[in-house]
Amino acid sequence: MTKPVHIDDSSFDEAVIKSKIPVLVDFWAPWCGPCKAVAPILEELSQDYCEKMAFTKLNVDEGPQTASKYGISAIPTLLIFKNGEPVQSIVGYKPKPELKKVIDEII
């Protein structure tokens, strides 16, 4: 069972930039209601796409440098990286079908 991997500023490059497959980074915080709402959807998607995409979570309180580097001003923000570059940004809560559509367009 694959779940989104928790990363921080120090593990970001290894987990995201150097990944051979696309990576979805969930910028979140434990005090954020919409972040909690989207978490189970991301867990389901990480199962559905375990061969094609990696799923990670970065707590903005623990990874402020990375959040700042990518201009994260609202959470949840989902950034999808491909070949080490951000290719898609999704801000706020989105239902599973909408997230699947975005992922399918990228992979």
* pLDDT 10s digits, 68-92: 999 999 999 999 999 999 999 999 9
Instruction: For 34-64, write each residue's pLDDT tens digit.
Output: 999 999 999 999 999 999 999 999 999 999 9
Percent of the chain clearing pLDDT 90 (strictly above): 97
Domain residue extents for the chain = 5-106
Which CATH number describes the domain made up of 5-106?
3.40.30.10
Cβ–Cβ < 8 Å for 9, 60: no
Instruction: Determine contact, residues 44/75, Cβ cutoff 8 Å.
Output: no
Task: Provide the annotated active-site residues.
Answer: 32, 35
Please report which confidence band the pLDDT of residue 2 belongs to, taking 50, 70 and 90 as the band edges: low
